[in-house]
Chains A and B, each alone.
Chain A
């Protein structure tokens, strides 16, 4: 099994210290986190972590179980990049003189789906969002004009097949969850094992 990019989505309670509990699951195993985002979710009071790592599926599966084991974690999903829709936001600061004089700004913005957020005498800030290659591409384009600063956000991702967390949460709130709540979903992927 080779390493590939996985996006891990974690639904949690909003609790101080949970970020650390989740982060040390990776650092204890010396696994680098490529990107990590925490944000509210579709449900008030429930937080959503989006974590990107490069690992084998086997390792990712084990990491997800360790994360899900944390008391304040409700649910963990992991997906390959083609199972999600994802975006990253990037900001670029360039000298206004240079860019206005030498670049065909209008074309540049159109081609890269970028927009100007701030235009000042001394500098201009562009913003774009997209996949890694797309935001990287604009860095390449802007570098000749003296790119002053560049920053990119963590990944945010929506799972294509997900129906959201509302229904799941209702089941979690019951003391005795019904059969519909299959917490051990990973098991379903093991079907092939039983055919031997």
Chain B
């Protein structure tokens, strides 16, 4: 107890005149300088000095106590994705830090700016297998944009400035700073905080080369069947308006990737739908019929391209990306346009002719009609009594008018939500796209709500994924976070079951999952809830959920063995997309 009081005196902040502060206080001062509002975290032995300092910063820095460190980083991701700012996480050493790894990998592959601070054992104990010591730097190297271990407090201001600069600039990504306990406690002469705006070995934005823009414009102007595909780069670059102007002047139909969704309104006349394995029919088939393919801020993920050697082989490819390593990585580019699309898109828009492609656009509509008849109509107006996931999402559309943030987990419900959801503003579709992390949605929705408190946030989750991070209901309870939780329960690990049905002779191997009474579980956490299985209950139940003050859990029991279609089977080309 004695040591504790001594520590407290040392770490008392708010003494601007005093330049002597602890490493812990320096961390929090850095947060204030970087305009951090919220920290998602979980305390533990090796990060106690920072939490001790935080005790005196509670007025300035909000801290959300999660129930598991994975929840903290997913919440920070959700926050970053709806706010456009950098999410911040605290975790302790050892297991606290290793619990972040899934979220780091998720943030890495989905380019989400996150700064994680992990506590570490005293520097003199490094490498001794000390209690809760683990080699966090080396564990996290492949899943961080940058990481660094601090053993001396004097480094903290400059290292944190670098961390925020790297996480948020260029192609964003997660940064982890591991701070040994001695550095957190160490007192040093604080000379103030200087934000970082340049690192000589780091070029966040490649220099734009005009000759490539001219070349791209020439290709576009000469094209007969041009097709735009866009990803999250448009949202991360805050280039939604620039992108809209580009497609509206060029008149080119545009399809989104799962993470690019909501960058333009889903009902935009030139928006032809979603790409990829469970995307729309037209965009997939016509990828292999366009003559110029213009990819904006996307990375040709295998779920988008299908079989690569049969992907858009007839097309000349223009690729706009901020990350030079993405050019030619998967798809050979005819004209690479390196740079921030917020800058390159207007340059391109200026050089292109105002055009329309009515015949070409009509082709998308014809494919849409087929998809409507064979996939969408049966999903939205099913003949059976069983609810479908699609009709639940459709009711949400009709009530929220496309203004809600939808946070999805991973699996059938995710694909259905992204297929059927309507969005009227950017940063509305939050999902784990690249890593496919089950358990993402519930904690991410917490962060998403804090990042956009004025918006309605609905976490759409399957019965499987919900049980992976179900403990975050405790966070929602304690911090009184107004998230709506929609469980689409088919009593199966549905996407795996669908694959087993289609590709493994219906050998349903361990996909039959038993769930608790979710409404009762929510009730245990003081969260109101309801379960429905009848069509006539649906509208009222969704209305009740959305008008309820505070968190609400709605469980919709849906058909057990429904499948998501269309589907590009693995190993097939996008043109071989199946409607059933």
Contacts and interface: CB of A to CB of B under 8 A. Distances in A.
Verify that A and B bind, or say they do not.
yes
Interface residues on chain A, size class: 20 to 34
Contacts of A17: 137-138, 141, 147-149
Contact of A187 (B146, B166, B197, B209): B209
Interface of B: 137-138, 141-142, 145-149, 166, 197-203, 206-207, 209, 212, 215, 323-325, 327-329, 334-336, 338
Nearest to B332: A193
A71 B199 contact: yes
Nearest to B334: A193
A177 B207 contact: yes
B206 A183 contact: yes
A20 B327 CA distance: 25
A173 interface: yes
A20 B329 CA distance: 22
A181 B138 CA distance: 33
30 contacts: A16-B149, A17-B138, A17-B147, A17-B148, A21-B141, A24-B142, A28-B142, A62-B329, A65-B324, A65-B325, A65-B329, A66-B325, A69-B323, A69-B324, A71-B145, A71-B166, A71-B202, A74-B201, A175-B198, A177-B203, A181-B207, A182-B209, A183-B203, A183-B206, A187-B212, A187-B336, A190-B336, A194-B215, A194-B334, A196-B334
Given A12-B201, A193-B334, 9 more contacts: A17-B147, A24-B141, A65-B325, A69-B323, A69-B325, A71-B166, A72-B201, A73-B201, A74-B200
Of the listed residues B137, B166, B198, B207, the one surrounded by the most CB atoms of chain A closer than 10 A to its CB is B207
A34 interface: no
Nearest to A67: B325
Interface string A65-109: 110110111100000000000000000000000000000000000
A13 interface: yes
B430 to A, nearest CB: 26
A62 B207 contact: no
A62 B198 CA distance: 26
A177 B208 CA distance: 12
Nearest to B199: A71
A116 B320 CA distance: 59
Of the listed residues B323, B325, B334, the one surrounded by the most CB atoms of chain A closer than 10 A to its CB is B325
A172 B334 contact: no
Given A175-B198, A183-B206, A193-B334, A68 B324 contact: yes
A61 interface: yes
A2 interface: no
A162 interface: no
Contacts of B335: 194
Contacts of A74: 200-201
Nearest to B203: A183
A62 B142 contact: no
A54 B198 CA distance: 36
A183 B209 contact: no
A179 interface: yes
A52 to B, nearest CB: 21
Q: Which A-B residue pairs are the 7 nearest by beta carbons?
A: A65-B325, A172-B200, A71-B146, A74-B201, A175-B198, A71-B202, A69-B325
B141 A184 contact: no
Contact of A71 (B201, B207, B325): B201
Contacts of B325: 62, 65-66, 68-69
Contacts of A71: 145-146, 166, 199, 201-202
Contacts of A196: 334
Nearest to A169: B200
Contacts of B338: 184, 187
A9 to B, nearest CB: 15
Contacts of B207: 177, 179, 181-184
A61 B145 CA distance: 20
Contacts of B334: 193-194, 196
A142 B328 CA distance: 48
A196 B209 CA distance: 20
Of the listed residues A173, A179, A184, the one surrounded by the most CB atoms of chain B closer than 10 A to its CB is A184
A184 B206 contact: yes
Of the listed residues A12, A68, A169, A194, the one surrounded by the most CB atoms of chain B closer than 10 A to its CB is A194
A6 B323 CA distance: 24
Interface string A131-174: 00000000000000000000000000000000000000100110
A173 B335 CA distance: 29
Nearest to B323: A69
A74 B197 CA distance: 17
Nearest to A177: B207
A51 to B, nearest CB: 17
A145 to B, nearest CB: 44
